Structure 1
Amino acid sequence: MKTNLMKSFLKGATVLVAVFGISSVMSSCSNEEEVAIDGKTRAATIITENVTSNTTWSGEIELAKKIAVTNGATLTIQAGTKIYGQATGNPNDATALIITKGAKINAIGTATNPIVMSAKNGQVGGWGGLVVLGNAPINQTATQYIEGIVEGSLPGVDTSYGGNDSNDNSGTLRYVRVEYAGATIGENNELNSFTFGGVGAGTTIDHCQAYFGDDDGFEFFGGCVNATYLVATGTTDDSFDFDFGYTGKIQFAVSTVASSRLTSDPNGIECDNDKAGSSATPYTHPVLSNFTLIGSTTGTSLKSAANFRRNCQFTLVNSILYGFPTGILCQTTNSNVFKNNVVNAINTTYSGITADATNTTAATVAAIGLTNAWGTYKNQTNLRPNATPAIDSADFSTLDSWFASTDYVGAIAPTSAGANWLMVGTWVR
């Protein structure tokens, strides 16, 4: 009997070590239970309290409420970890993982063993998603609290963002997929799959996918964090949204839409200086290269591949945009660079902008030069360029050395140029 008890104790201790690694999480903050996820019963660690000291998560993690990483702590999430947000039944209380100013997240998956954050109920909008807040500049003078979280709803947790440190480091996100996220608190007040507020350039973001979330895939409120290899799949609003003085750089990004579930204003890219269209500085000015923004064959309920408005600035080069009623909808007269792109639109290719000779207006989607423009986005051949203008000498005269040089436009290289990053491993869904 004593032997059996000892074996049971050791087995339990082994599981806890596997789950927590070198974690300093106290037993009062979490517990391990047999839970049903995706119709299967298995062990998961239930997180019930905020992370206030350096902590490691692995295995199956379940968030019982909004969990904040605070007090300058670093949350390390090991490759292959699955994190599930419970559904609370009240959008105001939607579960989410929040990295506050001064804290860090080091979530480093691999191509074959990604980190997945999902809704326990497997439904779109079933949880709040990932929120990262930093101390990098924004263009608002009043203290800003991140959209989608009711101010003061998390006692003792500062959900404000923005500061004066352009190189602020909020950690690393690599091979991370956020699924079925987004929760609507009220009109124009939603969480997204990935929400970044004032995140600095010391932060590393690459190989991240927003999969079937409510509202936006990736939303940036100010800050200057750079990113590479992003995928937004089936979001209900904008795939990429920039606001409040974001000035970062992004290269290699793919977005697709699911036309059966959309908001009233869905775009591939949406960009504002701020909601008032003011002259607050720094101006919102994303510098974007090698995007492939895919709408639908009919464009039903979509708006534009890219909507630049409300006094923002922008740079968009070396990109492919198609399947939207309008290609580029430019509603700002502020400084911008629009060069060496290939655009096909269902109704209006360019609105409010005059495309120079470096850009190509494709008469049909087939004329873009992709192998299979309407094929499965993660198929290793479909989005590869196989003819001009998609195979073209990319224009980097307006970009700096941070960007990788390519001899093609869009996010995916032709076969001769190397591996398709979407198909390296199993990190995309």
Structure 2
Amino acid sequence: MTREEIILWWKALVAFLFMVATMCLSMLTSCTDEDELFDRENTEALPSVISEDKTLYSDTEYLMSKPVFVTNGATLTIQRGALLKALPASGQGKAALVITKGCKIVANGTEDTPIIMTALVKEPGSWDGVIVLGKAPVSYECETIYSGAVATDISYGGSEENDDSGSLQFVRVEYAGAAGGAVTFDGVGWGTAIDHCQSYYSGSDGFMFNGGTVNARYLISTGASRNGLCFNEGYTGKLQYVMATAPTPKSVWSVVSCNGNGESEEVAFYTHPVIANLSTAHDNKPHGQQYPIAVSARSRLTLVNSSTREAVADDDIPVQLIGGQPETLPGIDYILINATGEVSSLTPDKFVLDAFFERTDYEGAVAPDVEKDKDWTKAEWVKRK
């Protein structure tokens, strides 16, 4: 046997052993709750590039060991009940599902059969998560999200406010957030449908909105290590029914964070989300500068019928507050907290909601008198600790 033949033999053996190890690791997690939704008879490793329309089925477990890019205008359709699982990185960067500009993801689960994207290693930051790149305005153009990526177009942003990047409905993303948000919308437009999505124990932000105009309802960020929701780069969308819980006491971040990040002083380029029926929960322990809501330069925030206890904002940066009780809402322009840790001496502004918002007469993400079986934060698709 020649030297070259020996080398080829060893390479084949290593590849075979890696495949066997991957299958064994997958089998070790085959009895989790998400696997019991369907009898998954097949396993498929997703390629690094999906350049034509593809459907992911509920009877197959899809494995990602590296970034997966949907390119060339393709649509990735994911059936209800489908399971995607990120494997430990194999030298090409941590796993991620990236929908590039001009492509679509159509991931429509249901309340009893959600789409689950998780990791083999059940720890925050085990993979990057889901990243959707759109054509809607941002405060400045970003050219790449991964260095050395294999995709042909990894920029985002443009002039199409109604850009349609598909839909995410009844989707749960677990243990993601290795580098950014577990679920990230970069320059995504309001033509995209987002509702009933959960980020579960992200290693960074739960949901990240970088520019764009996309709207969303029924979002839950559970235990993100950084911010539950983070808004940057001129994001101007609307959210309603949002629950964000702070992570472990080790965190020094905010549950909700608004940042300008752009270079323009024009108000049109300011980050300005409008959020109705937001509830935040945090441990409020003296381990760092953690506040439920933080607003920085070149950004605005409008809260409607929302409930939280503290907030921080840069000097002269307005936080607009609508409805609710003064003692449960954050201050305007500066920290305004009394000795008991509650905000005081605040009169909310008047505000007219547009057609996106449903009318409510209560504060927070859930009506106080709702029956337990009708509480959307306790539905079957939601994972609790």
Quote the Cα distance in structure 2 between the aligned partners of 1:349 and 1:167: 32
Quote the Cα distance in structure 1 between the aligned partners of 2:354 and 2:238: 10
Compared with structure 1, are the counterparts of its residues 364 and 283 closer, same or farther at alpha carbon in structure 2 (3 Å cutoff)?
closer
Compared with structure 1, are the counterparts of its residues 411 and 99 closer, same or farther at alpha carbon in structure 2 (3 Å cutoff)?
same
Does the 8 Å CA contact 1:144/1:161 hold for their aligned counterparts?
Answer: yes
Question: Which residues of 2 match residues 284-299 of structure 1 at below 5 A?
Answer: 284-298=271-285
Q: Report the TM-score when normalising by structure 1.
A: 0.74
Quote the Cα distance in structure 1 between the aligned partners of 2:131 and 2:222: 18
Quote the Cα distance in structure 2 between the aligned partners of 1:223 and 1:86: 31
Does the 8 Å CA contact 1:38/1:121 hold for their aligned counterparts?
Answer: no
- The match for 1:56 is 55
Q: CA RMSD in A?
A: 2.9
Question: Which residues of 2 match residues 150-299 of structure 1 at below 5 A?
Answer: 150-151=146-147, 153-183=148-178, 190-262=179-251, 264=252, 266-274=253-261, 278-279=265-266, 281-298=268-285
Identity of aligned residues (%): 34
- Structure 1 residue 36 displacement after superposition: 2.6
- The match for 1:105 is 105
Quote the Cα distance in structure 1 between the aligned partners of 2:206 and 2:381: 20
**Any stretches of 5+ residues in structure 2 without a counterpart?**
1-21, 31-40, 343-347
Matched, 1:397 2:351: yes
Aligned residue for 2:146, secondary structure, equals coil
- Structure 1 residue 333 displacement after superposition: 2.8
Compared with structure 1, are the counterparts of its residues 344 and 301 closer, same or farther at alpha carbon in structure 2 (3 Å cutoff)?
farther
Quote the Cα distance in structure 2 between the aligned partners of 1:233 and 1:416: 21
- Structure 1 residue 295 displacement after superposition: 0.7
Compared with structure 1, are the counterparts of its residues 124 and 46 closer, same or farther at alpha carbon in structure 2 (3 Å cutoff)?
same
- Structure 1 residue 159 displacement after superposition: 1.4
Residue-pair matches, total: 346
- The match for 1:314 is 301
Aligned residue for 2:212, secondary structure, equals coil
Deviations along 1:38-84, one digit per CA (max 9) or x if unpaired, are: 72457421112311111100231101210011111110001111101
Does the 8 Å CA contact 2:128/2:181 hold for their aligned counterparts?
Answer: yes
Compared with structure 1, are the counterparts of its residues 334 and 353 closer, same or farther at alpha carbon in structure 2 (3 Å cutoff)?
closer
Does the 8 Å CA contact 2:211/2:234 hold for their aligned counterparts?
Answer: yes
- Structure 1 residue 274 displacement after superposition: 1.2
Quote the Cα distance in structure 2 between the aligned partners of 1:138 and 1:75: 24
- Structure 1 residue 139 displacement after superposition: 1.2
Q: Report the TM-score when normalising by structure 2.
A: 0.81
Compared with structure 1, are the counterparts of its residues 343 and 83 closer, same or farther at alpha carbon in structure 2 (3 Å cutoff)?
farther
- The match for 1:352 is 333
Does the 8 Å CA contact 2:51/2:70 hold for their aligned counterparts?
Answer: yes
Quote the Cα distance in structure 1 between the aligned partners of 2:375 and 2:220: 13
Matched, 1:421 2:376: yes
- The match for 1:136 is 136
Q: 4+ runs of 1 displaced by more than 6 Å?
A: none
Letter in 1 for 2:185: F
Farther-moved stretch of structure 1 (397-406 vs 161-170) = 397-406
- The match for 2:360 is 406
Does the 8 Å CA contact 2:262/2:298 hold for their aligned counterparts?
Answer: no
- The match for 1:373 is none
Quote the Cα distance in structure 2 between the aligned partners of 1:361 and 1:108: 45
Matched, 1:39 2:34: no
Which one has a larger percent strand, Structure 1 or Structure 2?
A: 1
Deviations along 1:261-286, one digit per CA (max 9) or x if unpaired, are: 42x4x101111111668447422110
Does the 8 Å CA contact 2:199/2:206 hold for their aligned counterparts?
Answer: yes
Quote the Cα distance in structure 2 between the aligned partners of 1:174 and 1:250: 14
- Structure 1 residue 155 displacement after superposition: 2.6
Does the 8 Å CA contact 2:196/2:218 hold for their aligned counterparts?
Answer: yes
Deviations along 1:221-253, one digit per CA (max 9) or x if unpaired, are: 100000000000110111111111100000110
Quote the Cα distance in structure 2 between the aligned partners of 1:88 and 1:401: 44
Does the 8 Å CA contact 1:71/1:102 hold for their aligned counterparts?
Answer: yes
Does the 8 Å CA contact 1:252/1:412 hold for their aligned counterparts?
Answer: yes
**Any stretches of 5+ residues in structure 1 without a counterpart?**
1-32, 184-189, 366-393
Quote the Cα distance in structure 2 between the aligned partners of 1:224 and 1:362: 38
Quote the Cα distance in structure 2 between the aligned partners of 1:66 and 1:236: 22
Does the 8 Å CA contact 2:258/2:299 hold for their aligned counterparts?
Answer: yes
- The match for 1:333 is 316
Quote the Cα distance in structure 1 between the aligned partners of 2:229 and 2:339: 23
Compared with structure 1, are the counterparts of its residues 110 and 416 closer, same or farther at alpha carbon in structure 2 (3 Å cutoff)?
closer
Compared with structure 1, are the counterparts of its residues 111 and 396 closer, same or farther at alpha carbon in structure 2 (3 Å cutoff)?
farther
Quote the Cα distance in structure 1 between the aligned partners of 2:120 and 2:370: 41
Compared with structure 1, are the counterparts of its residues 170 and 299 closer, same or farther at alpha carbon in structure 2 (3 Å cutoff)?
farther
